[in-house]
Amino acid sequence: MPLSIAVDSVKTVADSVQHSGGSDSGWILHHVMDEKVLNFDLVFTHITIPMPHWVIFGLDLTPTKHVFFMWIAAILVLTLFTIVSRSYKKSLVPRGMANFFEVFIIFVRDEIAKTTIGKGYEKFVPYLLTLFFFILFGNFLGLLPWSATFTSNIGVTASLAICSFFLIQIGGIMKNGFFGYFKGLIPHGIPPVLLVLMIPVEILGLFTKPFALCIRLFANMIAGHFVILALIGLIFFIGTEFIAIGAVPFAIFIYFLEILVALIQAYVFTILTSLFLGMAVHQEH
């Protein structure tokens, strides 16, 4: 798999550099940005499949390649965990694939939700599990040849962060009441003269949390692709195959590092969401 990634990257870089005359580095952005076609750079040919053009009420709703792979990730999550849930109905002792995914499910439930939220964590576990596996599958899909990492799209990460933001606010309001929740944002015992300063700061803090979730996932997932493509691009920009002796092995090393990053970023996004939920539901007075 790493070799196929390297070959695919070499083919893409070679075609891009040849087209640009070796002077334009915009091919890196073209490779990671979203578009309304699916591109397959094969060894002897290049295949482009346009996405179906959808216009509804004057709005262009044509799916992009990132949307396409989001659909794949969503279908994988729904299909796999439907199979896993059915296996539990047949036997209390999971086997095979169910046993494999049970490790992750228990980890999210016990080590993330229960630890960071505390009492009443059970109602938030389904969302956290969905969030974790959707991001995880999206990260891993991006490591396959000819695919796309939709979690490197800031629009996708922002949408996930917005969903978490609303869940955090709803969870806090349901537990503490509307006025009690927003009153609890202000530290207890603060002098009245500082309220003018603290209220805007705390309101701003409500929005900086999802912003941090959004940027963290986006930046970490797009960075790996930039590094791999830049390393492979050195071969063509410098114009000697001897660079490949160091560039290709190091690019493969970064690819293996991306596997670890894919796991870590799914974990970080989920645990931070869970932590913010715990802070909203169990406010300190």
Distances (CA, A) of 29 to 25, 225, 230: 8, 10, 11
Q: Encoding tokens for residue 270? A: 């989920």
Listed residue (16, 158, 7, 147) closest to 69, CA to CA: 147
Contact (Cβ atoms closer than 8 angstroms) between residue 119 and residue 282: yes
Q: Where are the domains of the chain?
A: 2-281
Contact (Cβ atoms closer than 8 angstroms) between residue 134 and residue 77: yes
Question: Do β-strands 46-50 and 37-41 pair in parallel, antiparallel, or remain unpaired?
Answer: antiparallel
Q: Which amino acid is at 244?
A: A
Which residues are CB-contacts of 98 (< 8 A; sequence separation ≥ 6)? 83, 84, 87, 88
Q: What distance in Å separates the CA atoms of residue 185 and residue 163, rounded to the nearest whole number? A: 20
Contact (Cβ atoms closer than 8 angstroms) between residue 142 and residue 226: no
Mean residue pLDDT of the chain comes to: 82
The H helix count followed by the E strand count for the chain is 10, 4
pTM (2 d.p.): 0.84
- pLDDT per residue over 196-243, tens digit each? 788 888 888 889 999 999 999 999 988 887 887 777 777 777 766 777
Contact (Cβ atoms closer than 8 angstroms) between residue 17 and residue 237: yes
- pLDDT per residue over 44-55, tens digit each? 677 888 888 888
Instruction: Give the containing element (helix H, strand E) for 221.
Output: helix 195-238
User: Is 21 a residue whose pLDDT tops 60?
Assistant: no
